[in-house]
Structure 1
């Protein structure tokens, strides 16, 4: 069963972090004969237009021209971790005050029915983060938490946020399924869908690594779907049964997302393994980070998103010395060989088979 997450008629769509604009161009091309988004599409990039053209060449020039010809609006220099700032709201919404306070019925005004962020990755994060002693996993988690917090100011009632990511290390350690806990709770996870069970494969060749030519294995692609907390919007129960992830069994590790443990002894063995211990230590650092910037207490969305976005940008002032990571551990966390091994193992479930046996 293929689920259609991107309605093609009468819906406003915001695309974030477009990079080479391949996805937005493919979306416009796919809808050209069956109802196009046209002026309902806003495609954005973190880079300015000159940087996009310099990095991606003639292909990007052609895509940008096609998008403009179709009536799409292109906005450059958009930071997905700071969507809720006044400047971002003005650039993305124009004169409209947003979906929660605007009574305008114009299809070109208000918020968005779909907000899409495909395979987010901090720009040039690696070298700067290592210099700051910042854990890239936590920096990306902060980025996504700030993004979801800001998205709540742009999403129309009944709308969906679609976050495409990968079900393997280190991406699964960002914990996209738990973002609502740290983003204010206005938007909640509806489901996770395998890449091949959505219309994404028909739109373009496949999920890709940012700043690399190689594609991601389609089996590693996963779409996280969020909606307003308490909303009934999203795929039906039958669709989720076919295309979504199965519910965890009684014995499972929620942190590592490992299912299929057959006995309490198996669970204890897993919890004593290296991977689970590393993840527990990571969560402890994350908790200390939230405490250090006052995010465990109640706070406004703008303050919450701003603090998370600043940390995601690797600002060392938000990392008290007691929760900075030892240099040796930073190297271990981001050693490319370890990442390759984790990717080859295909994700947390298969990693844990060996982990539980330790």
Structure 2
């Protein structure tokens, strides 16, 4: 079978996506590959919530299922390593696009930054348990202030992960992907991505030995 690719991702990889909004990023990959048998796509929302919150979610899910995608709802990134459908699997690539802890206060507030950092740290703790030996964790994140204050690279290092690469993120590289706010009454609205990067992390085995 021919290997097909889009940006950093290949049809030969076993891919886990977490925190999906309307599942348009998962569908973008699946369309590029011509199949989604190598993809597990998850979200924190239930299927009922998805239908209520995102106008295109059900049609995206239907197409993904037709392409062979495994779809799992109600997946919390802080506990996903123990999820019965995930805990015995290992992935070559785990993707979390624009993690966000919700719109509780201003993005620049120290309290809000700590909430975001706790979200990302918990994700790292779980994701590294689901990685294959040479797998990578991908986080796409805004890099301008105040988002730069999350210190994504430092959070990863604290979890025994090392940065392999940081590349500029261009949403136009992913046809059909519609990023979503994912919270509140405007959850189905997109937001300007601005200056952002995709960070590629792998397990630092030298650190893990100690």
TM bracket, shorter-chain basis: 0.7 to 0.9
The residue that corresponds to 2:111 in the other structure is 135
Report the structure, 1 or 2, having the larger helix content.
1
Report the structure, 1 or 2, having the larger strand content.
2
The residue that corresponds to 2:71 in the other structure is 74
Q: Taking structure 1 as reference, are residues 201 and 53 closer, same or farther at Cα in structure 2, changes over 3 Å only?
A: same
The residue that corresponds to 2:131 in the other structure is 155
2 CA distance for matches of 1:212 and 1:52? 10
Shift of 1:30: 1.6
CA contact (8 A) 2:24 2:178 kept: no
The 3-state SS of whatever aligns with 1:226 is: strand
**Given the alignment of the two structures, is residue 111 of structure 1 paired with residue 90 of structure 2, yes or no?**
yes
TM-score, normalisation: structure 2 = 0.83
Q: Write the mapping of 1:174-185 to structure 2, written as runs, cut at 5 A.
A: 174-183=150-159, 185=160
**Given the alignment of the two structures, is residue 203 of structure 1 paired with residue 182 of structure 2, yes or no?**
no
The 3-state SS of whatever aligns with 1:224 is: strand
Q: Write the mapping of 1:216-295 to structure 2, written as runs, cut at 5 A.
A: 216-218=192-194, 220-230=195-205
CA contact (8 A) 1:22 1:204 kept: no
Rg (Cα) greater in structure: 1
CA contact (8 A) 1:12 1:112 kept: yes
Cα deviation code 1:169-215 (max 9, x no counterpart): 222111111113432x1x2221211113xxx6332366735126244
The residue that corresponds to 1:92 in the other structure is 86
CA RMSD of aligned residues (A): 2.4
The 3-state SS of whatever aligns with 1:63 is: helix
The 3-state SS of whatever aligns with 1:80 is: coil
Cα deviation code 1:152-175 (max 9, x no counterpart): 110001111100011112221111
**Given the alignment of the two structures, is residue 41 of structure 1 paired with residue 42 of structure 2, yes or no?**
no
Q: Taking structure 1 as reference, are residues 182 and 49 closer, same or farther at Cα in structure 2, changes over 3 Å only?
A: same
Q: Taking structure 1 as reference, are residues 171 and 204 closer, same or farther at Cα in structure 2, changes over 3 Å only?
A: farther
TM-score, normalisation: structure 1 = 0.50
The 3-state SS of whatever aligns with 1:43 is: strand
Shift of 1:122: 1.5
2 CA distance for matches of 1:139 and 1:215? 20
2 CA distance for matches of 1:205 and 1:28? 11
